[in-house]
Amino acid sequence: MNRDRFITPDWAAPSTVQAGTSCRQGGVSEPPYDSLNPASHVGDAPQAVATNRARLGLPGEPGWLQQVHGTRVAVLEHNGRIGLEADAAYTRTPGVICAVLTADCLPVLLCDRNGREVAAVHAGWRGLSSGVIEAALDQFQAPADQILAWLGPAIGPGVYEIGDEVRRAFVGPDPDSDEAFTPTRPDHWLMDIYALARRRLQQRGVEQINGGEYCTFTDAERFYSYRRDGVTGRMASVIWLAPDDSC
């Protein structure tokens, strides 16, 4: 992994776990995808996307998903399974890279304390409210209190305005999640997607949760933001298991 192009999690993961979220600098894509866009589905030039993916410096081709804001988890045993329809990827196989693409939605990276299993989750509000994080946790053999979570760059709570139907999707089944919403104007709210993700992780027994200090919308130098720019690139959040001597 080319660490100059990634934000790496500040967490207590074992050395066999390699993980990070790419930033937008250091690639070859032209505006509005400038410059390190690894997403092939947003209209960018295919050759530019291929070059950008190579510049990530990953040890293999990730299992790129066709993300649909659902809760399906792809269990990966080999690299390069492109186009599988799912919003999370899980593996226990060393060298297999789990990846999700985001540009405001929340990427969640998961691993167990022993470094034997990992997952990457794409959690937009639809997937988050429907249980995509819980679906990924269900794949783990380790108990929840032995799982570490890192919340990667997403749209921040000071700018993520949503309508009342989105708030109801969370507060209806979980009234106490109302604390993650701040009213702005009639039937509109600012939503803290980080707080909602932490709450769901904690409800499932995950105790060690890190990250959640970024805002893709306001930090245009480092991050793509669909809500800010419309046509734009994506960041890649990746995680895999590597032997100790190859980290």
pLDDT at residue 143 in the model: 97
Which of 13-22, 71-80, 102-111 is the least confident region?
71-80
What pLDDT shows up at residue 24? Answer: 97
pLDDT digits (tens, 9 = 90+) for 192-246: 999 999 999 999 999 999 999 999 999 999 999 999 999 999 999 999 999 764 4
pLDDT for res 247: 44
CA distance 108 to 120: 6
What is the average pLDDT value for the chain, to the nearest integer?
95
Checking if the pLDDT of 94 tops 90, the result is yes
Lowest-pLDDT choice from 15-19, 80-84, 158-162: 80-84
Task: Provide the domain count of the chain.
Answer: 1
pLDDT of 135 reads: 98
- Residue 81 domain-assigned? yes
Q: Would residue 73 count as lying in a domain? A: yes
Q: At residue 18, does pLDDT exceed 90?
A: yes
The pLDDT assigned to 244 comes to: 61
- Mean pLDDT of all residues in 112-116: 97
Q: Residue 165: inside a domain, yes or no?
A: no
Range of the domain at 210: 3-158+206-242
This prediction's pTM: 0.95
CATH number at residue 75: 3.60.140.10
Asked if residue 54 belongs to a domain, the reply is: yes
Contacts of 129 (CB under 8 A, 6+ apart): 166, 169, 170
Q: Which helix (H) or strand (E) holds 240?
A: strand 235-241
List the single range of 60-64, 114-118, 144-148, 234-238 with lowest mean pLDDT.
60-64
User: Has residue 227 been placed in a domain?
Assistant: yes
d(CA 65, CA 138): 19
Asked if pLDDT for residue 176 goes beyond 80, the answer is yes
The answer as to whether 183 is a domain residue is no
Per-residue pLDDT band for 132 (boundaries 50, 70, 90) equals very high
Strand partners, 22: 6
Q: Collect all residues with Cβ–Cβ distance below 8 Å to 180 and sequence separation of at least 6.
A: 157, 170, 191, 192, 193, 195, 196, 199
Residue 148 covered by a domain: yes
The pLDDT value given to residue 3: 81
Domain presence at residue 231: yes
